Chains A and B, each alone.
Chain A
Amino acid sequence: KAGVTQTPRYLIKTRGQQVTLSCSPISGHRSVSWYQQTPGQGLQFLFEYFSETQRNKGNFPGRFSGRQFSNSRSEMNVSTLELGDSALYLCASHGGGHLVDEQYFGPGTRLTVT
């Protein structure tokens, strides 16, 4: 069974631009969560989508948004990029039960904002 895939793996953007990241969950998984990893902050929860609906949300500004498609693939968008948005963005999928059940993470997208 294929794992969680994320595209692109690396991205360089300029301040003020917007970016869209993609995540394909494990086949059959209906839940996708997004996290931001930065040095010193660990993994911070952005949001979770389940069956095309946002089910949970972290404490990030409205510049961070997401969506999920009927095939469970998910996209995350960051508008008006800031230098502080430079981070590794990870998505994780699981079968749709309680969020704390074992999640499978993708390799991440490394975003650099200059």
Chain B
Amino acid sequence: DQQVKQNSPSLSVQEGRISILNCDYTNSMFDYFLWYKKYPAEGPTFLISISSIKDKNEDGRFTVFLNKSAKHLSLHIVPSQPGDSAVYFCAASARNTDKLIFGTGTRLQVFP
């Protein structure tokens, strides 16, 4: 049972345009969400997070939006750069469980 789903395994975006990566979850107890980026041969690195008390969090080119009623979050990258090409994982947690549940990842390719 996949509690965190990233339904798009891959996404291709032109440099300078917006990249939108989506993530859906099923567990209404989740109250904290994170995005990680992973390059080949490296471990995932933390990108940005959001608490369920917010609906938006911004950090430079990266913005995460949370829609609790739809159980959906998205990561916006504007403008996209070739160096953003990587696999992006969303993750969710319910604070009373102390566990991070990851999605299956979306491979983003930014082309010139």
Segment among B39-47, B61-69, B74-82 that sits at the interface with chain A: B39-47
The CA of A106 and the CA of B99, in the complex, are separated in Å by 18
Q: Known contacts A100-B34, A100-B93; is A90 also within 8 Å of B100 by CB?
A: no
The verdict on B25 contacting chain A, using a C-beta distance below 8 Å, is: no
Interface residues of A in 94-114 (CB under 8 A from B): 98-100, 102-108
Q: Are A45 and B101 in contact (CB under 8 A)?
A: yes
Number of A-B contacts (CB under 8 A): 59
The verdict on B85 contacting chain A, using a C-beta distance below 8 Å, is: no
CB closest residue in chain B, given A42 = B104
A90-B43, A90-B44, A104-B43 are known; give 20 further A-B pairs, CB within 8 A.
A33-B100, A41-B104, A42-B4, A42-B89, A43-B44, A43-B91, A45-B99, A48-B98, A55-B98, A98-B95, A99-B93, A100-B32, A100-B49, A100-B93, A100-B95, A100-B100, A102-B46, A106-B43, A107-B41, A107-B42
18 contacts between A and B (CB under 8 A): A40-B104, A41-B104, A42-B6, A42-B102, A42-B105, A43-B44, A45-B99, A58-B99, A98-B95, A99-B93, A100-B34, A100-B93, A104-B46, A105-B36, A105-B44, A105-B45, A106-B43, A107-B42
3 closest pairs, A vs B, by CB? A105-B43, A43-B102, A42-B104
